[in-house]
Amino acid sequence: MSSIAIIDYGMGNLHSIAKALEHVAGKDRVRVSSARETILAADRVVFPGVGAIRDCMSELQRTGLDQVVMEVARSKPLLGVCLGMQALLDSSAENEGTPCLGIIPGCVQHFKEGISQAGTAGRLKIPHMGWNQVQQQDKHPLWQDIPDGSRFYFVHSYYAAPAADTDVAATTPYGIEFTSVIAHDNVFAVQFHPEKSQHAGLGLLSNFVNWNGVS
C-alpha cells in the first residue's frame, strides 16, 4: 500500500493536514515525520508550513530537511502547501529578503507591492483570508472532478510569482491575478489550504494520493 509522508520540520500545526489525508487515504498510509529515511521511503510527500519564511528556511537547514525536499522534488510526487509552496521558489521578499530552495524559478512577493505595481484601485485587507476562486490554467490530473473556479480557503500575505508561465497551474484574483497553484513535473504546490477547503480540498488531496507524478 502506497504511503504519504508529511514533512515535520517544526513549522506549524500538522494536525489538520494529517487528518484530511487520513480521511481520503486511510489512517495507516499517512506518516508525519522529520526522519529523512521515512520521508524518502514514502511514495508521496506533502511539504506543509505556516509562519514566517526566515524561520521556515532556518529550520529546514538546521534539520537537513532542505536536502530531503530537494531530493523528493527530483524523484516523486511532492505537494507543497502554503509556506511549503513559497519555500520552493528562488527567494522571498519576506523578512527583508530570504533565499529559498530554488526548485521552481521565481520569487515570492507581498500583496502590497504587487497591488501597488499593478495600480489596482480599491482597498484590500491583508492577509488575504477566506474562500477565493481558483482558475485552472491547464488540464492536470490533480484537477480531476474539481470544477474550474472552485473556492478554496486561503490565508497569506505573500504569494508566489514563478518566472515561467508554464509553471502556473491556477490563478486567483485578489487585486491582481496571482499564481495560486504551481505545477512543475512531479511537483504540485498550492497557496491555499486543501485540508481546510471542504469538498474541493479533499478532492484535491484525494487526487494527489492517486497521482503518479506525471502531468
Partner 1 sequence: MGLAKRIIPCLDVDAGRVVKGVQFVDIRDAGNPVEIARRYDEQGADEITFLDITASSDQRDTMVHVVEQVAGEVFIPLTVGGGIREVANIRRMLNAGADKVGINTAAVNNPDFVREAAERFGSQCIVVSIDARQASTADAAPRWEIFTHGGRKPTGIDAVEWAQRMVEYGAGELLLTSMDRDGTRDGFDLALTSTISDAVDVPVIASGGVGTLDHLVDGVIEGRADAVLAASIFHFGEFTVGEAKQHMAAAGIEVRL
Give the span between the Cα atoms of 127 and 14, in whole angstroms: 21
Which residue, 150 or 186, is less far from partner 1 as judged by CB? 150
Write the CB contacts of 19 (distance below 8 Å, at least 6 apart in sequence): 195
Give the helix ranges, DSSP H, for 64-197: 65-75, 83-86, 111-118
Footprint of partner 1 (CB under 8 A): 12-13, 15-16, 19-20, 23, 50-52, 125-133, 151, 153-156, 172-174, 193, 195-198, 201-202
Which residue, 13 or 214, is less far from partner 1 as judged by CB? 13
Write the CB contacts of 37 (distance below 8 Å, at least 6 apart in sequence): none
Q: How far is the CB of 181 from partner 1 (least distance, A)?
A: 16
Active site residue 96: no
Active site residue 71: no
Q: Quick one: DSSP state of residue 43? A: S
Q: How far is the CB of 185 from partner 1 (least distance, A)?
A: 28
Annotated catalytic residue within 94, 100, 156, 195: 195
Angle at the Cα of 201 (from 198 to 203), degrees rounded to 5? 105
Q: How far is the CB of 184 from partner 1 (least distance, A)?
A: 26
Active site residue 82: yes
Give the helix ranges, DSSP H, for the chain: 15-25, 36-41, 53-63, 65-75, 83-86, 111-118, 198-209
| Residue 177, strand partner residues | 173
Which residue, 136 or 215, is less far from partner 1 as judged by CB? 136
Annotated catalytic residue within 82, 100, 156, 184: 82
Which residue, 145 or 185, is less far from partner 1 as judged by CB? 145
Dihedral sign (CA 32, 179, 196, 116): positive
Annotated catalytic residue within 37, 96, 193, 199: 193
Q: How far is the CB of 48 from partner 1 (least distance, A)?
A: 12
Give the span between the Cα atoms of 177 and 135, in whole angstroms: 10
Residues with catalytic roles: 82, 193, 195
